[in-house]
Amino acid sequence: MTHRLYIGNRLYFSGSLAAWLMVDRFGLSPHVATTVLYPATEDGVGALMTDLAPARTLPTMVTKDGAILSDSMAIAEELATRYPDAGLWPRDPVARGTARTLANEMHSGFRALRGAWPLNLHRSYQPVTPPADAAAECARLEAIWAHARAVTGAQGPWLCGDYCIADAIFAPMAVRLANYGFDTGPVTRAYCAAHLADPALRRWRAMGLAAGKAAAAFEHDGPPRPWPGPAPLPATAVETGTPQNATCPYSGDPVTHLMRMDGRTFGFCNAFCRDKTVADPAAWPAFMALL
């Protein structure tokens, strides 16, 4: 048996992104099956979860022994407890304590930023000037992210050394800041860029784009601009051709759907496998191995 993680539309649901990263980034996918729900609006979530009472928000995880966890930090702590060797929290006490306080401040705070500019991985927008309360929260992010790196001696892109729960929890905020073009400080800019380049986050976005579930109720009304993350390698879905591979790089099943890239044709077992690859080929190690 596996746990089951219920998430919302990958293009818009920030807590769902954080919870999925906790699973994907720490190698827990064999233990967790994922179900995606597509409410037309935020108010429609509860109607899709009547069989999961008392849960009424996304993400929700139902453990293999029946516990219902309807909160992203509850999911984080339960995964860390059940899989202590996965490295969800840092082992160093200072780094672990710092990561915990950062994750919980994100979880309970930053309401101005979250309310004014919802997560959107469907498209990006021309730079937006935040109101005073959101600008103050931007400054707070710069302060606590810089503090975390200083006290933990982090040398790589993440806050407390290796990637941990705190980074997963802050991933939606990093995308949000970059997506709306906020004028942020140097630590914030570098940290946002690291998240946009993270292959796991790129895979999440590619799956969201492949599902084709854009929803007008979740879109911002500002003028769009190119996505601020790495530009995907050019690829195109095609109907005909002779694929170089006989089986899907993800499932191992016979190919039925095709894409074209660099003058070569590759096959996949279904439209979703193909379309998520077309959206961002370099995010998928199993596909890149074919190259």
Query: Which residue has better confidence, 200 or 43?
Result: 200
Distances in whole angstroms, Cα of residue 150 to Cα of each of 125, 132, 155, 164:
32, 27, 9, 16
In the predicted model, is pLDDT for residue 117 greater than 90?
no
DSSP 29-66: GGGEEEEE---SSGGGTGGG-GGGTT--SSSEEE-TTS
- pLDDT for 42: 84
- pLDDT for 41: 86
Say how far apart CA 210 and CA 196 lie, in whole Å. 18
- pLDDT for 242: 97
In the predicted model, is pLDDT for residue 130 greater than 90?
no
Indicate the average pLDDT of the chain: 96
Q: What is the pTM of this model?
A: 0.96
In the predicted model, is pLDDT for residue 97 greater than 90?
yes
pLDDT tens sequence across 54-94? 999 999 999 999 999 999 999 999 999 999 999 999 999 99
Mean pLDDT within 118-146: 93
Say how far apart CA 147 and CA 143 lie, in whole Å. 6
**Alpha helices per DSSP H over the chain:** 14-24, 72-82, 93-108, 111-116, 132-152, 165-179, 186-197, 199-211, 271-279, 285-288
- pLDDT for 19: 98
Band of residue 250 on the pLDDT scale cut at 50, 70, 90: very high
Query: Which residue has better confidence, 271 or 218?
Result: 271
- pLDDT for 129: 87
In the predicted model, is pLDDT for residue 184 greater than 90?
no
